[in-house]
Amino acid sequence: MIRRWFSKNLIKIYAFLAFVYLFIPIAYTMAFSFNDAGKSNLTWRGFTFKNWQNPCGAPEVCSALGNSLKIGFLATTIATILGTMIAFALGRHRFRGRSTVNLLIFLPMATPEIVLGASLLAMFLNLGINPGFWPTVIAHVMFCISFVVVTVKARIASLDPKLEEAAMDLYADEMETFRRVTLPLVAPGIFGAALLAFSLSFDDFIITNFNSGTLTTFPKFVYIASARGIPAQANVIGSSMFILALTIVLAGQLVNRRKAR
Amino acid sequence: MAFIAAVTKRSSIARGIKRPSTPYLLLIPGLAWLFLFFVYPLINLASTSTQTPAASGEIGAYVQSFRFANYFDAISGAKEQFIRSIIYALIATVIALAISYPLAYAIAFKSGKWKNLLLVLVVAPFFTSFLLRTIAWKQILGDQGPVVTVLRFLHILSPQAGLTASAFAVVTGMTYNFLPFMTLPLYASLERIDPRVLEAAGDLYANAITTFRKVTFPLSMPGVVAGTLLTFIPAAGDYINATLLGNPRTKMIGNVIESRFFEIVDYPTAAALSFLLMAAILVLVAVYVRRSGTEELV
């Protein structure tokens, strides 16, 4: 009886264990944000709320977070605009050189980050440009564009062209059709692409490490701090970002479900 | 009149052509960005890779002398790390596939109304910082962590032995960090399979195992290929896991490129190694894609 239940649900048990595996490190990150840690946050010393009450308590942690947020917003905005334009060109137009464009979009995703980072830094140094804030933004836009294009293009491809035809039949001109029919329909895809771009930018370490010079971003802060002990405040920020992102995505799904009904 | 106008507009949308210049105007800004900050830097890096130190002897100053022997020097100095990167990345990719396939299968076929939520949960690790997740593994595998405690209790590990600062820890970290890159494409290709095809296999007296082997798995091949590539490529170039979870004997090619760049300021060698890494990846990818017979994928 038990054995039959077990073999029938084997795949579900396996999936459950896989999820446990996926969430163990996150649980650790969260648990250690409540650790009454001294300098090093590697071992458990007792429960406290003080890290959450004072997330900027560790030196530099909030300025690093601020830099990451600024870079993330700028890079996301630029990459989403440029990527969405390319996605519309690929999804809604026929033109020569299409496969070349597709290849150019695919290549940055297939290039190891270290090569992207090193090549950009070598170029900046050759041009006499010092690494720092703007070179980092430029680099982030570069690797986010491809992901935006792929995400938005998929959304455009899933649209029913009849909806746009219907708008035209109802005497909407091209601009109006785009603004009032196409764009609202593609919007969830653009929003998803922007979220993806932001999370890629916010979490990037390798390319940032090459192009940011002395500027510290949040991942860079964690990396540098890891040599002498990461303050528990970094876990507070990591956990908050996790909860925030999860809330946004789940809220988005709820809204979609309401709309579908 | 308006009717005719509407008809012409309609047919123009159906053809997908509005104004012939529109697609190019849409493409120019984004493609310009990619040319300036992706294509040109790669060309520039290629040029750096054959440079030699300037006569002035100033640190970081190099002149072009088309010295292709740089590549041989670079590889002979980092052969070990190079091979190690490929091997670690391959192991991490295979384990990630073994973990992800049943997971993606369960989400695609057995999750019912929970499908979307489970997909979010698969990506959820990405919502915390990559570095914090890696540090968490350092704690989990650490000497006071649960894994070592259990293994020591079971006498699988001797009281002195540990798990961190080892190849095992590096591969564990890599497998974990790139897992969603494997699961998502697998899910996407499994989800597209028409359940009626699987029913048909059953109607033709195939048992569960035969159905999987002859129908489900071949149909999911594009996802397997995409997932393994998306896992293998970042894993081969990664050096964070090796730095945070490894020891000096687990250094990867990424560590070498990074230290050549920042510590030794030897740009030509760093550039040559970058290209060798790209070349190795492209060759492996080409062979793999051809052998798995899904060339239309890329």
Q: Could you state, in order of their start, the residue ranges of all structural domains in chain A? A: 60-260
Torsion from C-alpha of B25, B27, B30, B35, nearest 10 degrees: -110
Question: B1-48: per-residue pLDDT in tens?
Answer: 344 444 444 444 444 445 678 888 899 999 999 999 999 999 999 998
| Nearest chain B alpha carbon to A23 | B125
More confident position, B75 or B5: B75
Question: B128-153: per-residue pLDDT in tens?
Answer: 888 999 999 988 898 888 888 888 88
3-state secondary structure of B52: strand
Spatial distance between the Cα atoms of B131 and A230, rounded to a whole number of angstroms: 11
Per the DSSP assignment, residues forming a β-bridge with B63 are B52
The phi, psi pair for A160, rounded to 5°, reads -85, 115
Global pTM value? 0.86
Which residue among A22, A108, A111 sits closest to B125, beta carbon to beta carbon? A22
| Amino acid in position B264 | I
Which of B27, B260, B261, B282 should one mutate to test binding to chain A, selecting the residue with the greatest count of A CBs within 10 A? B27
Spatial distance between the Cα atoms of A219 and B252, rounded to a whole number of angstroms: 20
Tracing tokens 């492996």 back to the chain, one arrives at: B284
| Nearest chain B alpha carbon to A114 | B237
Torsion from C-alpha of B133, B135, B136, B141, nearest 10 degrees: 130
Q: Does A29 touch chain B (CB under 8 A)?
A: yes
Which pLDDT score, from 0 to 100, does residue A147 have?
93
Taking CB atoms and an 8 Å limit, are A112 and B44 in contact across chains? Answer: no
Question: A160-206: per-residue pLDDT in tens?
Answer: 888 888 888 888 888 888 888 888 889 989 998 998 899 899 989 99
Which pLDDT score, from 0 to 100, does residue B19 have?
66
| Nearest chain B alpha carbon to A202 | B129
- Shortest Cα–Cα distance, B155 to chain A (Å): 23
Q: Does A261 touch chain B (CB under 8 A)?
A: no
CATH numbers and ranges of domains, chain B: 70-297 (1.10.3720.10)
Please give the share of chain A, as a percent, with pLDDT higher than 90: 44
Q: Is residue B238 very low, low, confident or very high in pLDDT (cuts 50, 70, 90)?
A: very high
Which pLDDT score, from 0 to 100, does residue A61 have?
86
User: Is the distance from CB of B177 to CB of B119 less than 8 angstroms?
Assistant: no
Distances (CA, A) of B34 to A146, A192, A226, A228: 9, 22, 34, 38
Which residue among B45, B110, B116 sits closest to A118, beta carbon to beta carbon? B45
Mean pLDDT of chain B: 85
Spatial distance between the Cα atoms of A39 and A232, rounded to a whole number of angstroms: 9
Which residue among A26, A95, A169 sits closest to B24, beta carbon to beta carbon? A95
Taking CB atoms and an 8 Å limit, are B129 and A15 in contact across chains? Answer: no
Which pLDDT score, from 0 to 100, does residue B93 have?
96
Which pLDDT score, from 0 to 100, does residue B293 have?
65
Which pLDDT score, from 0 to 100, does residue B294 have?
57
Please, which residues have CB within 8 angstroms of residue B69's CB and are 6 or more apart in sequence?
none
Tokens coding B21: 């210049």
Which residue among B110, B277, B298 sits closest to A112, beta carbon to beta carbon? B277
| Nearest chain A alpha carbon to B276 | A115
The phi, psi pair for B202, rounded to 5°, reads -65, -40
Which pLDDT score, from 0 to 100, does residue B113 have?
81
Taking CB atoms and an 8 Å limit, are B44 and A123 in contact across chains? Answer: yes
Question: A109-151: per-residue pLDDT in tens?
Answer: 888 999 999 999 989 988 999 999 999 999 999 999 999 999 9
User: Which of 1.10.10.60, 3.40.50.970, 2.50.20.10, 1.10.3720.10 would CATH assign to domain A60-260?
Assistant: 1.10.3720.10
Radius of gyration of chain B (CA): 25
User: Is the distance from CB of A85 to CB of B29 less than 8 angstroms?
Assistant: yes
Taking CB atoms and an 8 Å limit, are B23 and A93 in contact across chains? Answer: yes
Question: A216-245: per-residue pLDDT in tens?
Answer: 999 999 998 888 778 888 899 999 989 998
Which pLDDT score, from 0 to 100, does residue B296 have?
46
Please, which residues have CB within 8 angstroms of residue B152's CB and are 6 or more apart in sequence?
B158, B159
DSSP E strands in B32-153: the ranges are 51-53, 62-64
Distances (CA, A) of B185 to B191, B212, B231: 10, 18, 11
Helix H, strand E, coil C: the string for chain A is CHHHHHHHCHHHHHHHHHHHHHHHHHHHHHHHHHECCCCCCCCCCCECCHHHHCCCCCCCHHHHHHHHHHHHHHHHHHHHHHHHHHHHHHHHCCCCCHHHHHHHHHHHHHCCHHHHHHHHHHHHHHCCCCCCHHHHHHHHHHHHHHHHHHHHHHHHHCCCHHHHHHHHHCCCCHHHHHHHHHHHHHHHHHHHHHHHHHHHHHHCCHHHHHHCCCCCCHHHHHHHHHCCCCCHHHHHHHHHHHHHHHHHHHHHHHHHHHHHC
* Statement: residue B86 has pLDDT above 90: yes
Reported ipTM: the value is 0.87
Spatial distance between the Cα atoms of B81 and B90, rounded to a whole number of angstroms: 14
* Statement: residue A213 has pLDDT above 50: yes
Spatial distance between the Cα atoms of B129 and A223, rounded to a whole number of angstroms: 11
Taking CB atoms and an 8 Å limit, are A149 and B236 in contact across chains? Answer: no
Spatial distance between the Cα atoms of B259 and B275, rounded to a whole number of angstroms: 16
Enumerate residues 71 to 130 of chain A having a beta carbon within 8 A of any beta carbon in chain B. 82-83, 85-86, 88-89, 92-95, 101, 104-108, 110-116, 118-123, 125-126
Taking CB atoms and an 8 Å limit, are B144 and A246 in contact across chains? Answer: no
Taking CB atoms and an 8 Å limit, are B131 and A165 in contact across chains? Answer: no
Question: B169-209: per-residue pLDDT in tens?
Answer: 999 999 999 999 899 999 989 988 888 888 888 888 888 88
Mean pLDDT of chain A: 88
Which pLDDT score, from 0 to 100, does residue B1 have?
38
Taking CB atoms and an 8 Å limit, are A168 and B6 in contact across chains? Answer: yes
Q: Does A163 touch chain B (CB under 8 A)?
A: no
Q: Does A192 touch chain B (CB under 8 A)?
A: no
Tokens coding B186: 């697998």
Which of B7, B11, B38, B253 should one mutate to test binding to chain A, selecting the residue with the greatest count of A CBs within 10 A? B38
> Angle of helix B130-140 relative to helix A232-260, nearest 10 degrees?
120
User: Is the distance from CB of A201 to CB of A140 less than 8 angstroms?
Assistant: yes
Q: Does A210 touch chain B (CB under 8 A)?
A: yes
Taking CB atoms and an 8 Å limit, are B41 and A123 in contact across chains? Answer: yes
Tokens coding A98: 């299409």
User: Is the distance from CB of B205 to CB of B125 less than 8 angstroms?
Assistant: no
Which residue among A21, A145, A203 sits closest to B129, beta carbon to beta carbon? A203
